[in-house]
Structure formats: structure tokens, C-alpha cells
Amino acid sequence: MREGSLEAPIRHPLDWENPDFYDEAKLDAEMRRVFDICHGCRRCFNLCDSFPRLFDLVDESKTGELDSVDSKDFKKVVDACTLCDMCFLTKCPYVPPHEFNLDFPHLLLRYRAVEAKKNGVGPADRALTETDRNGKWAMLIAGAVNWATRRGSPARTLEEKFVGIDKDAELPKYARQTLEARAKANPPARDEKAPAKARKVVLYATCYSDYNDPSIGLAALAVLAKNGVETKVVYPQCCGMPKLEQGLLNEVADAAREVAAALAPYIDEGYDIVAPVPSCVLMLKFEWPLILPHESSVKRLSEATYDLSEYVVDIAKKEGLAEGMKPIEGGVAFHMACHSRAQNFGQKGAELLRLIPHADVAVVERCSGHGGAWGYKKGNFETAMKVGKPAMRQLDTAGKKHLVSECPLAGIHIEQGIEALGGNMPKPERVSHPIVLMARAYGLASE
């Protein structure tokens, strides 16, 4: 038996359509097998709160071993997991192809799937998964919604009581018009003589860029047009990451099929699929093919999908970028988001920023702690702030004018954490994505 592995990690498909996947006795046996290995290793103790909770359960048990830990307490470990994938990708020496065959995040996802099938998902959690419905309604009264959901609003106390969203957590705002509508009304002029003029892209808007912050997509459209790329904005529906977090695998599979079908004609015409939010890219490229491994349309979409930073860096390497960028003064503190790291393609966001002339970029590869909707919830928010504090401190003390994360929700959370640190140093300006700074460097609209 090998002690650990130096081979590249391999992820097995989720066997979620097999009845055994939902067998509680078999799930418990697998959790005990995996947790016992984790207890003997403890290499992940400082990644998130799941592992300290697990190790405390063991250490405080009667025997000091897993055999005296009650299975009902495993839920505490599961509830702390944000599906960031960092234990699988960066820490665990026992992931496949090692014979121990550990995939801690997907094991905890299986637990949530069993819970969801047995007990359903509570109304508050269910409401948070409906990002398209929420976005469409909120945009109709965006001003009122943004006022009511701001920190300090009396409505936040009621929201905490009835929906479970911590009243102290900074929430994303809603836009008044979708990215799709803005792009259609005012498409950027494409330079047909630019280096990447042969490329064609569908920008998969994502629910966040469509409903909450269209500036990310608008900056992407402007930069791509400047470089000659023919670009269309398409948004069939949400990628399903919020539903994945709740274990609703059948609904995620339905979303995968529908989005793959909607984007297939564009792939047929030679379009690349590009998404600006790392979590959504992770779904299209990696999670969907593991949920539907035998569906060719999903596999084909996965192979055609690129992260936005990854795609711009690819243009720079192959065709070269259009001239005209000017330096961005003051430097950039760049947070490498966990779901960017989980794609295992390197620091593409930092590479993009360094394409800007004389770029001064400080990179921090630490978890922000936010974990999507998980970090907003009452009971999780304080933990999210604690987990993210090392990253927040490093980004704050980097002494840069700008703060950017490819994960926009992480950026909001980090900005709030830096504010909480206090101190007399000027706080950096949060920018929602590296592409926004590149658009500024080109002198293109970034709002």
C-alpha cells in the first residue's frame, strides 16, 4: 500500500442514479471509512471548519477514535462544507488514483443528496436556490430591494428571523437591467482587424452577471470586441451551483441538459463558450460531466467551455492582444478564488492582470470563507469571517489600491472583512473581476 500519492487527482462520476447511493447504511459505512482516514491524517485541519469539527468529535469522544462518535453528529461536519474542493485538489494525498479513493466533498454532497431525498429542502434554503426567479423579480424593484437588504436596514432583522440570512452579512445588489438587455441595446463596436478577429464567443452570462453585476460582462464584451472577437450574450438559466450545494442532483442534471441543448447550436457554428464566474465554469466544465457522464451534449459543452480569464490569456498567448492599454496606477491585490484554483489551470486571473502594462500584482491564495449562500446564513457568517480572516489580512496589508477576486461574492465578503479589521491604512477599492481593470486599461467603459 502506498503512503499517499504524487499522481494527478482523478474524479469519478457521481453514481447518483443508483439506489445504493441513497442507502443510509451504506452511506454511513463510507463516511466512517473516509472520516477514519481523515482522522489519522489531519492534513486538512486548517482549510475550513468541516475538519476541525470532525477532529473535535473524535477527540472529545469516549475512546478518542471514530468508533465512539455518533453518526447523527456527522451532520455538523457536512453543514460546514462549502464544496470549495480545496481538500480534494490541494491537500489530500489519498484521492484517486490512490487505493483509498477519497473524495471528501463529493461524499458530503452525497450526504446532502440523501437528506434532500428523505426530508426535502427547507423553504428558506429552497428559496435561495431559485436564483433566476429571485433575480427577475428583484430587478423589477431593484431600488427597493437594494435598500431593504442593505446592512443596517430594519428589514434585515426580519430577513434573519424568517429566511436565516445573517443581518450583518453584506449582500450583493441587484441591477435594474440584465446583461443580456444591455448588450443587445448597446453592443460594443468590434475591431475586425484586431488579432483575435477569427474567434467567436458565446458569453454565458451567469445569474450573477446577468442580474447582480452586469459590469463584469460589459467589460468582457468591450475587451473581446477590442480584440476582434465576435461575441454574443446567451443565458438559458442558472448553472445550478446553489442547488448542488443542497444536494438536489436531479435538478442540477435537468439544468445541465437544458443549458447544453441551448448552447449546442452555437458550438456547432464554432463558438467557444466563456463564463465570467469561476463557480459556474466549474459546473459546466467539471461537475456536470460527473453528474451526467454518458450524455454527449454535456461532454461537448464541457470541452467547449472556458473561464473568462483563461480565455483572454489564451488570446494573448496565441494571437496577441490589441494594443492601447495604459497602466493601472496603485497596484492590485488579487484574491485567487477557490473555484478558480479547483479548475487546476494556474493563476489565470493574475496572468490577465499582468498583461496590463507595468502591472503591480500581489496574489493571495487563501480561502475567503464565504462559501456562496452558506456564508450568508445565520450561524455560518461568523465562521465565514473567521475562515477568511487570513486572506483578508494579507490582501489588506498588500498595500495596493485595487482589490479584485474572480469570484464576485468572495470579493464582497473580503471587502467587508477588511473593513472589520479597522486600522488607519486606506482601504483598497474593490473591483468585481480582473477583466474590469483590463477594460479600464484600454479606456473602455467599465460601469
Write the DSSP assignment of 375-392 as a string of letters.
GGBTTTHHHHHHHHHHHH
Q: pLDDT by residue (tens digit) across 247-270?
A: 999 999 999 999 999 999 999 999
pLDDT given for residue 4 in this prediction = 65
CATH topology of domain 332-441: Rossmann fold (3.40.50)
Looking at the predicted structure, is the pLDDT value of residue 427 above 90? no
Looking at the predicted structure, is the pLDDT value of residue 144 above 80? yes
Residue 163 has a CB neighbour count (10 Å cut-off) of 16
Q: Which residues pair with 81 in a beta bridge?
A: none
Calculate mean pLDDT across residues 81-85.
90
Calpha distance 414→385 (Å, rounded): 8
Looking at the predicted structure, is the pLDDT value of residue 77 above 90? yes
Calpha distance 296→293 (Å, rounded): 8
The length of the chain, given as a count of residues: 447
**Element (DSSP H or E) covering residue 363:** strand 361-364
Calculate mean pLDDT across residues 75-81.
94
Q: Which residues pair with 175 in a beta bridge?
A: none
Contact 179, 207 (CB under 8 A): no
For the chain, what percentages of helix, strand and coil (3-state, to nearest 5) are there? 55, 10, 40
- Ordered by start, the domain boundaries in the chain are 19-119, 332-441
Contact 324, 440 (CB under 8 A): no
Looking at the predicted structure, is the pLDDT value of residue 446 above 80? no
Looking at the predicted structure, is the pLDDT value of residue 445 above 80? no
Calpha distance 280→102 (Å, rounded): 24
Q: pLDDT by residue (tens digit) across 195-231?
A: 999 999 999 999 999 999 999 999 999 999 999 999 9
Question: What percentage of the chain carries pLDDT values higher than 90?
Answer: 83
Q: What is the pTM of this model?
A: 0.94
C-alpha cell at 77: 461536519
Calculate mean pLDDT across residues 410-425.
88
Looking at the predicted structure, is the pLDDT value of residue 1 above 90? no
Per DSSP, 430 falls in state E
Contact 339, 208 (CB under 8 A): no
Q: Which residue has the cell 486571473?
A: 349
Calpha distance 40→102 (Å, rounded): 13
Calculate mean pLDDT across residues 41-61.
92
- With cut-offs at 50, 70 and 90, classify the pLDDT of residue 148: very high
Looking at the predicted structure, is the pLDDT value of residue 44 above 80? yes
- With cut-offs at 50, 70 and 90, classify the pLDDT of residue 370: confident
Calculate mean pLDDT across residues 322-327.
95
Q: Which residue has the cell 442532483?
A: 249
> What is the SS3 assignment for 405-441?
ECCHHHHHHHHHHHHHHCCCCCCCEEECCHHHHHHHH
Q: pLDDT by residue (tens digit) across 149-197?
A: 999 899 999 989 888 999 999 999 999 999 999 999 999 999 999 999 9
Longest dimension (CA), the chain: 72
